[in-house]
Structure 1
Amino acid sequence: MSVDDRPALAAIPARHAAAGGYTARAGELVMSLFREPWGQVSPSVYETARLVSLAPWLTGHEERLAYLLDVQREDGGWGGPGGYALVPTLSAVDALLATLRREPEDAGDAALARSAERGLRMLSSLLPSLDTGGGGAGTVDVPDTPALDIITVSLTSSIAEHLRVLRENRPEGRESWHSWTLPALPGFDRDRLDLALAALNAGAALPGKLFHALEVTGVAAVGAVGVPPASTGTVGASPAATAAWLGGRAPGPSGERAALRYLETAVRKFGGPVPCGLPITVFERSWVVGGLLRAGLSPAIPARLSAELAAALGPDGTPAAAGLPADADTTAMTLYALSLLGVRRTPDALLRYEMETHFCTWQGENGHSTSVNAHVLDAFGQYLRQTGERTDGDQDATHNRFVEVVRKLSSWLCAEQREDGSWHDRWHASPYYATVCCALALSDFGVGNAGAAVGRAVAWVLATQRPDGSWGIWGGTAEETAYALQILLLAGPSADPATERAVTAGHRYLLRAARQDERPALWHDKDLYLPTAVVEAEILAALHLAAARPGGSGPSQQGQQSPKVNI
């Protein structure tokens, strides 16, 4: 929903926050999960631009074009800083060129042409500077976002073709920028994209993890065999992938009608622009519930929510939502949340993701994730804590097997810690997210060198606080400050003067920042996104922890109003 549509909770005096005010707000946040069952998530430049290119016939086309023009940066790019601009800028430029090419008689549209030229200029500067770690020798790091290689190769090829056609059909008065060409894309090859295209053209099934980026295969995606819409009508929980599968066809069979209904629902969310991942139902609910309960908040959790989380678990665990494959991250967080709710489920399904040294997010994953392994440690550790003393026979063997998993994950996470005490991760731009995941899991359930690793993480948090009391990778944010406060309050040393000073300053900052409506997008999907309810749960958890500590409300807060949590 838009910022203005989010229900505002009555502000509660800060002196009462520790006495139940934050718990009441946590209850409102939980109930918002039912009001928007597909999830609360920000619009995406990448995904919106893909709909401009792929589905100009879909309701909201003009609004999507207006959105792209409105959010273009002064330097001509789109999206986050550095390498985070690559994917959204390629997508937006492709969308503008596709629009100009589709309607040559209107190709002189000044606003679209100027925006396209600015985007091309920015790309001509960005592409040669990329450092991909695979041959690129530039200075701008490319983030490890999903499907990065096949998206960039697909879009650069599409842009090159648009420019070729436009050069041959130059509208009068708009000749200059049509001479543009993109520099070579360093460090990327077409291998994975060509394999996906070959599979689709041969009628073979694609791996489920590629459904989310099906749009990269172009016309081969239309009605692709083995890529049926999910129960919600989506392909890959992605508007772009769904539009690519549907193509320009008039809906006929039920699957096509369901896909169109899904797209129309996604478009209505923001009046044209669309999120990158939708729905995110199980992901959102498990992260919100787990984050609130871990911080000691005790909102009323409807039995329906527990039942639906439990029902989502299958032999392979659970996906983040319909249309996606099951993954270890959502499975682990769902198990952890259910355990905190008193619902016992064995974490056996997670063993399907076990590797020699760690756990993968899904089979065939390229790379690894520290936050995923931290969440798996939470799931096994909480299960062992919940089940208590081991018993004889087969159950005793299962207990020992799970204990070995805890040892293995503790060792691996400690080895993955950076020299400065932080962790980094492939699912989030900020090291504060990865560090809160790893530090809390090791603090609660880690063995071996876990204590020393947590101590280094706490020292890193103390050393990186900003003068205004905040924390953040690019600037202070409420989200990252919430993560830092949770590390200090849940894993830091008690009665430590340095920690108390940092918490006091961080709490003051968070009380101010939590009132702000805007939150930066820091989470990794095809481009950066903001899972609104998840982030608000983390902010609320940190506010509760800081206010609940001895003297946490502080005499200076009396008579003031505590911030409203955005839901």
Structure 2
Amino acid sequence: MSDGATRVFVDAAAAADPVADAARELIAGLGLRPWGQVAASVYETGRLVAVAPWLTGHHQRIAFLVRSQRPDGAWGPPEGYALAPTLSATDALLSALADGRTGTELLAPVAGGLGALADMLLRADARTLPDTPALDLIVPALVDTINDRLAGLERAVADRLPRPPLPLPAGLHRDRLRAVRSAVAAGATLPPKVAHFYELLDAVPADAGPTLTAVGASPAATAAWLTAVGPAAGPAAHAFLRTLIRDGGGPVPCPAPITVFERAWVLSGLRRAGIAVNPPASVLESLTAATAGQGIATGDGLPTDADTTSVSLDALARLGHPADPASLWAYETADGFCTWPGEDGFSVTTNAHVLDAFGQHLTRHPGADARYRRAVDRLSGVLAGHQRADGAWQDRWHASPYYATACCVLALAEFGRGAAAAEAVDRAAGWVLNSQRPDGSWGRWDGTAEETAYALQVLLAVPTTVPRVDDAVARGHAYLHESATRDHRPLWYGKELYCPTVIVRAAVLAACRLATDRVSGVDRSVVDCGYQATKTTT
């Protein structure tokens, strides 16, 4: 029987299981939409409005920005996470207002955005801003652009807007932006990850050409390049953008494509929860580059990284296709394992995923090189050493401590060694128990299905029959079932917080399966947590 892009096989028991059925549909979507499924991005959509108004869907993108604005004039999540999307959306609407083709209906949203920015920027401090990628490039670049647009407005329009120059946050400077722009302009070889931000750099990627699909896995960077060189110079990139625009109704996601990232996280998470699905060979094959050289990247246009490589290796092993994780040695450092060489910071979730990959290898090859055993011992201590005093972990790739805590607990519970690892798992479970909300959910700002799923995975990784744990699991499971139709809050770190929708759905399904297996007397006809097949490909 041939392997079609959407063919997925499940065993007879799984076919009667609503969770497995929903998971099967998720995996079918991996083949149907190989660039990945990510919710629309305010930041990226704003950049397309500003730098590529010639692209189809321009007015739909403007409408998306207007209806996405918060009542206080800002865009995006709470706290400093609103800064990047608010800068991008305000600049975008200001550019549309300045071109004279939209009338004056954008005056109010632009005024609201400028007011929100003035307040945010005056109160912000570089030391307390979130560690989202390239925020120190995004903020000065867009502050300068907005100030330039305000200075160039016609008097009749300018007089109706607040016009004090926007300041930079205390402690944030333009030095790095100027240095990177100068280096790019001089033709210097820069790290591949810089391509993700080319819309800020006023330059053309050296490796761009007619076969390039996406610059830096970013619609904004790709659109900026196409604006500079013309659509005819990048037919593949132009076609890719048109596909994203068509599928999103005008707005675009970021990052995209996330082919390997999405497939690895979905497959690893579902199999770890015991959900029996077998993806098409083409999907499996897309993960196998993790075994070569320095591993694999999240998607085309991004550098290889230890995080995606580790989860890909874990997924392959759980699907019965284990491979030697030797490619991960390229990321070993004095502190543990970096996400990529030269990383500014330390990621506990990357190190947890490396522990998963090495642990899988040692489980199947107990006599493997002693270097792997030493790495597992070392990572067990590294993760325990980064645990917060309250029992949680926090990471630089996700805004919620529940994600980081789940990654660390799952790795330590399955592969960790030593008393410190076991103690860390118990402390994390205590933190989760103590932070459950009255409605049964968990969450950083409010209760969410995604964070509740991670919290349940933590509790269900600890072998105990304590009544309090069983009650928390039952309440959390009920919340997942009741909240399944709600939109997911963006929590993943990118230029702004974003939501990889299929990965989040897979995490919820995994938690539903684990909770169902724990909670007695549950009717299996209602344990799909509301994820019917038709909802996984919308």
TM-score, normalised by the number of residues in structure 2: 0.93
Q: 1:275 aligns with which of 240, 250, 253?
A: 253
**Are 2:329 and 1:351 equivalent residues in the alignment?**
yes
CA distance in 2 between partners of 1:318 and 1:207 (Å): 16
* Contact 2:210–2:235 (Cα < 8 Å) also in 1: no
Counterparts of 1:58-457 in structure 2, within 5 Å, are: 58-103=55-100, 106=101, 109-133=103-127, 141-166=128-153, 169-171=154-156, 175-177=159-161, 179-217=163-201, 220-221=202-203, 223-224=204-205, 226-228=206-208, 233-253=213-233, 256-311=234-289, 313-387=291-365, 389-390=366-367, 399-448=369-418, 449-457=420-428
Deviations 1:494-517 (A, max 9, x none): 211111111111111111112x14
Match of 1:46 in 2: 43
User: How has the CA–CA distance of structure 1 residues 213 and 309 changed in structure 2, closer, same or farther, with 3 Å as cutoff?
Assistant: same
- Whole-angstrom distance in 1 between the partners of 2:429 and 2:159: 58
Cα distance in 2, alignment partners of residues 243 and 505 from structure 1: 46
Q: Does the C-alpha gap of structure 1 residues 313 and 559 become closer, same or farther in structure 2, counting only changes over 3 Å?
A: closer
Task: Name the CA distance, whole Å, in 2 between partners of 1:522 and 1:274.
Answer: 17
Relative to 1, partners in 2 of residues 1:21 and 1:558: Cα closer, same or farther, differing over 3 Å? Answer: closer
| Partner SS for 1:504 | helix
Give distance in 2, aligned partners of 1:546 and 1:407. Answer: 30
SS in 2 for 1:199: helix
Note the C-alpha offset of 1:232.
5.4
Q: Percent identity?
A: 48
Report which stretch shifted further, 175-184 or 317-326.
175-184
Structure 1 residue 488 displacement after superposition: 0.8
Task: State the 1:25 CA deviation.
Answer: 2.1
Name the residue aligned to 1:3.
none
Which of 11, 17, 22 is the aligned partner of 1:20?
17
Task: Give the superposition deviation at 1:418.
Answer: 0.4
- TM-superposed CA distance for 1:251, in Å, is 3.2
Residue aligned with 2:156, SS: coil
* Residue 230 of structure 1, CA deviation: 9.0
1:507 maps to 2:453: no
SS in 2 for 1:525: coil
Q: Is the 8 A contact 2:132 2:495 kept in 1?
A: yes
Structure 1 unmatched ranges of 5 or more:
1-6, 8-15, 134-140, 391-395
Specify the code of the residue in structure 1 equivalent to 2:530. Answer: P
Distance across 2 between alignment mates of 1:66 and 1:79? 16
- 1:458 maps to a residue whose letter is A
For 2:424, the aligned partner's letter is A
Structure 2: distance between partners of 1:447 and 1:379 = 15
User: Could you tell me the TM-score, scaled by structure 1's length?
Assistant: 0.88
CA–CA distance in 2 between the matches of 1:454 and 1:433?
14
Tell me which amino acid in the other structure corresponds to 2:230: A
Find the counterpart in structure 2 of residue 522 from structure 1: 491
Look up the match of 1:564.
Answer: 531
* SS in structure 2 of the partner of residue 176 of structure 1: coil
C-alpha spacing 1:459/1:312, structure 2 compared with 1 (3 Å): closer
Deviates more, 1:25-34 or 1:58-67: 25-34
Structure 1 residues 547 and 559 mapped into 2: Cα distance closer, same or farther (>3 Å)?
closer
Aligned-partner Cα distance in 2 for 1:307–1:521: 29
Aligned equivalents of 2:210, 2:318: Cα separation in 1: 30
Contact map agreement 1:78 1:92 (CA 8 A) in 2: yes
Cα distance in 1, alignment partners of residues 15 and 30 from structure 2 = 24
RMSD value, Cα? 2.1
Change (3 A) 1:143 1:206: same
Query: 8 Å contact 1:150–1:193 — kept in the other structure?
Result: yes
CA contact (8 A) 1:358 1:409 kept: yes
CA distance 1:552–1:427, shift in 2 (3 Å): farther
Give the letter for the 2:268 counterpart: G
